[in-house]
Chains A and B, each alone.
Chain A
Amino acid sequence: MAPSSAPLRLAPTEGEDVHPLIELSDAEFFERFSGFVASIGTRLLGRSADVDDLVQEVFIAAFRKRHQLQEPNATRGWLAVVTVRTARRQLRRRRLRQFVGLDAFVPPLELPDHALSPDDHALMSRVYFILDHMSVDDRLAWTLRHVEGEKLEDVALRCGCSLATVKRRIAAAHAHLLAEMDGG
């Protein structure tokens, strides 16, 4: 059988006669990208217990719209935006629970045992404790920039605000963090 000369692509283009076995199923899509979403979610939320919920909400939204994606290499960026939005909602609910006293016990950052040394684990736990008591928008911008290592333009895109706003939020979060770390 002669090799196909068709370009490699994940999703069929408009008007193409689609063979049902070629398109990526929900299971394949989930297997391909769930780890990516879980990784971002862990670093944004700081709690493994909340990551399962976040992954489910992200993919429930993603399954509804992903068949309209025409550029496979835009998938990660799009999923990242959806993940940040979902994380924002979860963090706001968490802040509300904290406010009314329903979130008094904060479970520690759960990672595989060999991941962090005790000192590093204590540092990250302290950082996330301070982040939990910060504005959600400031926290997300700071986490995307300094934990995820995203460029400022991408942080602005994920957060849905201008570059100037993102810089202001990151600066405010960073100053607050340093002040708390020094005082703590």
Chain B
Amino acid sequence: MDDLTHKLGSLRHKLEPSWGRARSQRAFHAIERRRRQRRARTRAFAGMCGLAAALGLGLGWWHVRTPQLGASRVAGERPSRLAPQVADREPASLKQAASPNDVAGARAVLSPNARAAAPAVNAETFGSSAPSTRQARSRALRVPIAGAMLRAGQRGRLADGSIAEVSGEGSGLLVQVNEPDHVALQLASGAARFEVVPNPSRQFTVMADGVQVIVVGTVFSVERAGERVRVAVEHGAVRVQSVVGEARIEAGEARWFDGKKPHTARSHEPSEPSTVLEPAPSEAPVESEPAVAPRVTRATTEPADAEAWMDAAEAARLGHRPEAAAAHLRRVLRDHPGDAVAPLAAFTLGRVLLENLGRPVEAAEAFAQARKLAPDAAIAEDALAREVEAWSKAGRSENASERAQQFIERFPSSRRTRVVKSYGGLSLQ
């Protein structure tokens, strides 16, 4: 690495903006303002479109009803696939007016949505192992967005028209990017099958444990088993990039990768169904065990700032360790009370204490602290509402009622009013 990149690496942690609470609040208010303006513009535009549509319908109705202009049209006739037959039956008068063939021809130009759907029909007929059209239609296709996870038994239609199908209990396919010209998927666990629409200008990749599969247009499967990844191609070809290098897998081939080096199928591999395709029997199986990937050791140094403690708390939450999460959040509040994330730390601590540790009194105190740290921020409303809930669940009806009254006075038009009144024991009228 040359001196410049080495220097940049050492300076990276200093290239931070001064993103304090005030600046954050200003930005959030600006976002709210822009969203309101956008909603108002959308409503105005929708109103204009509605008006234009109504005007167009009115003119069309008048046009049809006017005898001298509508004489050649059959009342109620709709342009359809029967257009050629209609033209044959009434050649003279029909050809003088706008021919239904013109309309039928116009309808034959696929809309983008129809165009995207058309390849999916072709994809359903790929290969003998593809599900039948009736079976495919019987299972609804989801349309995932970036960040969505497809689970076992789910099928997703991607933005480019390709289809991803996740199989096997415990399987998970993360959709990282889902755009018409770029699809990036990550196989977190288990196996998935892909029917990819051919499109050389689109980027389509599947990542599995460090093994990247690059696709142009094909039908293939990717499966994770332990620390290895299996790629099998039914139609077309794929390129696979792993740490060692690049490999090309053709139709009818299947290959295992362990993320370190590619190797061919071995004789003691788990037995495969007969429809799965393997390398030619003449290839000698590799008997030696694959190299074990070195384990990444966890960092033992403690986080240095509030943000890092928040990350540690979130990791503990997601790892079902609420006690650890609570400890990390208390650390943020103890060591960084003035940090921009402190109100959120208090709020999150309240949630962990209430929802996962069953300590509603402490939770109520944490929510109260969140409000105290950011009395004018948007989070104050949520914090007060949760405090009411916590006092109610702690059996402290007087506290719950008093906080509920405060909430209603301070946030009279909140969408949480009904729930807060319920927890606070106030009349719902």
Contact surface of A with B, Cβ cutoff 8 Å: 1-4, 6-9, 20-22, 25-28, 30-32, 34-36, 38-39, 41-43, 48, 51-52, 55-56, 59-60, 63, 65-66, 68-75, 77-78, 81, 111-112, 115-116, 120, 123-124, 127, 146-149, 153, 157, 160-163, 174, 177-178, 181
Closest to B26 in A: A52
What is the bound-complex CA distance between A112 and B181, given in angstroms?
Answer: 40
Closest to A55 in B: B27
Contact surface of B with A, Cβ cutoff 8 Å: 2, 4-5, 7-9, 11-12, 14-19, 23-24, 26-28, 30-31, 34-35, 38, 144-149, 174, 176-177, 179, 181-182, 184, 203, 205, 207, 212, 214, 241, 307, 310, 314, 317-318, 320, 322, 325, 340-341, 343-344, 347, 352, 355-358, 360, 377-379, 381-382, 385-386, 389, 393-394, 415-416, 419
The answer to whether B357 and A34 touch across the interface, beta carbons within 8 angstroms, is no
Q: Hey, which chain A residues are within 8 Å of B28, CB to CB?
A: 27, 30-31, 34
The answer to whether A1 and B318 touch across the interface, beta carbons within 8 angstroms, is no
The answer to whether B30 and A56 touch across the interface, beta carbons within 8 angstroms, is yes
The answer to whether A28 and B147 touch across the interface, beta carbons within 8 angstroms, is no
| Smallest CB-CB A-B distances: 6 pairs | A27-B378, A3-B358, A78-B147, A8-B317, A160-B182, A42-B17
The answer to whether A27 and B382 touch across the interface, beta carbons within 8 angstroms, is yes
The answer to whether A78 and B379 touch across the interface, beta carbons within 8 angstroms, is no
Closest to A41 in B: B17
The answer to whether A115 and B212 touch across the interface, beta carbons within 8 angstroms, is no
Q: Hey, which chain A residues are within 8 Å of B381, CB to CB?
A: 27
The answer to whether A147 and B17 touch across the interface, beta carbons within 8 angstroms, is no
From B12, B15, B146, B377, residue with most partner A Cβ within 10 Å: B15
Instruction: For residue A90, give the distance in angstroms from its CB to the closest CB of chain B.
Output: 15
Q: Hey, which chain B residues are within 8 Å of A2, CB to CB?
A: 358
What is the bound-complex CA distance between A8 and B145, given in angstroms?
Answer: 23
What is the bound-complex CA distance between A20 and B377, given in angstroms?
Answer: 19
The answer to whether B12 and A147 touch across the interface, beta carbons within 8 angstroms, is yes
Instruction: For residue B182, give the distance in angstroms from its CB to the closest CB of chain A.
Output: 4
What is the bound-complex CA distance between A153 and B184, given in angstroms?
Answer: 11
Q: If the complex has contacts A3-B356, A74-B174, A116-B14, are A21 and B385 also in contact, measured as CB distance less than 8 A?
A: yes
Instruction: For residue B33, give the distance in angstroms from its CB to the closest CB of chain A.
Output: 10
What is the bound-complex CA distance between A54 and B360, given in angstroms?
Answer: 39
Could you list 27 examples of A-B contacts with CB < 8 Å? A4-B356, A8-B322, A25-B378, A25-B379, A26-B378, A30-B28, A31-B340, A31-B341, A32-B344, A34-B24, A38-B17, A39-B16, A43-B15, A52-B30, A55-B27, A70-B147, A72-B318, A74-B149, A75-B147, A77-B147, A111-B16, A112-B16, A112-B18, A116-B14, A147-B15, A157-B176, A160-B184
What is the bound-complex CA distance between A13 and B317, given in angstroms?
Answer: 16
The answer to whether A21 and B176 touch across the interface, beta carbons within 8 angstroms, is no
The answer to whether A27 and B35 touch across the interface, beta carbons within 8 angstroms, is no
The answer to whether A7 and B320 touch across the interface, beta carbons within 8 angstroms, is yes
The answer to whether A71 and B149 touch across the interface, beta carbons within 8 angstroms, is yes
Contacts A39-B16, A70-B147 aside, 15 further interface pairs with beta carbons under 8 A come to A1-B394, A4-B358, A27-B377, A28-B379, A30-B24, A52-B30, A59-B31, A68-B144, A69-B145, A69-B148, A73-B318, A77-B147, A120-B7, A120-B14, A157-B176
Q: DSSP class of A's interface residues: helix, strand, loop or mixed?
A: helix
Could you say which of A71, A78, A157, A163 contacts B241, with CB atoms under 8 Å apart? Answer: A163
Q: If the complex has contacts A27-B382, A69-B148, A149-B9, are A111 and B27 also in contact, measured as CB distance less than 8 A?
A: no
Q: Hey, which chain B residues are within 8 Å of A55, CB to CB?
A: 27
The answer to whether B179 and A28 touch across the interface, beta carbons within 8 angstroms, is no
What is the bound-complex CA distance between A150 and B145, given in angstroms?
Answer: 23
Closest to A159 in B: B182
What is the bound-complex CA distance between A60 and B32, given in angstroms?
Answer: 9
The answer to whether B357 and A3 touch across the interface, beta carbons within 8 angstroms, is yes
What is the bound-complex CA distance between A7 and B386, given in angstroms?
Answer: 19
Q: Hey, which chain A residues are within 8 Å of B5, CB to CB?
A: 146, 174
The answer to whether B356 and A31 touch across the interface, beta carbons within 8 angstroms, is no
Q: Hey, which chain A residues are within 8 Å of B419, CB to CB?
A: 20-21
Instruction: For residue B196, give the distance in angstroms from its CB to the closest CB of chain A.
Output: 15
The answer to whether A25 and B382 touch across the interface, beta carbons within 8 angstroms, is yes
The answer to whether B146 and A78 touch across the interface, beta carbons within 8 angstroms, is yes
Closest to A8 in B: B317
Instruction: For residue A139, give the distance in angstroms from its CB to the closest CB of chain B.
Output: 14
Could you say which of A21, A174, A181 contacts B389, with CB atoms under 8 Å apart? Answer: A21
Instruction: For residue A73, give the distance in angstroms from its CB to the closest CB of chain B.
Output: 6
Closest to B17 in A: A42
Instruction: For residue A101, give the distance in angstroms from its CB to the closest CB of chain B.
Output: 28
Instruction: For residue A24, give the distance in angstroms from its CB to the closest CB of chain B.
Output: 9
Closest to B358 in A: A3
The answer to whether B18 and A123 touch across the interface, beta carbons within 8 angstroms, is no
The answer to whether B203 and A81 touch across the interface, beta carbons within 8 angstroms, is no
Q: Hey, which chain B residues are within 8 Å of A27, CB to CB?
A: 28, 377-379, 381-382
The answer to whether A60 and B31 touch across the interface, beta carbons within 8 angstroms, is yes
Could you say which of A35, A72, A73 contacts B19, with CB atoms under 8 Å apart? Answer: A35
What is the bound-complex CA distance between A77 and B207, given in angstroms?
Answer: 14
The answer to whether A51 and B17 touch across the interface, beta carbons within 8 angstroms, is yes
Could you say which of B174, B207, B214, B344 contacts A28, with CB atoms under 8 Å apart? Answer: B344
Instruction: For residue B403, give the distance in angstroms from its CB to the closest CB of chain A.
Output: 13
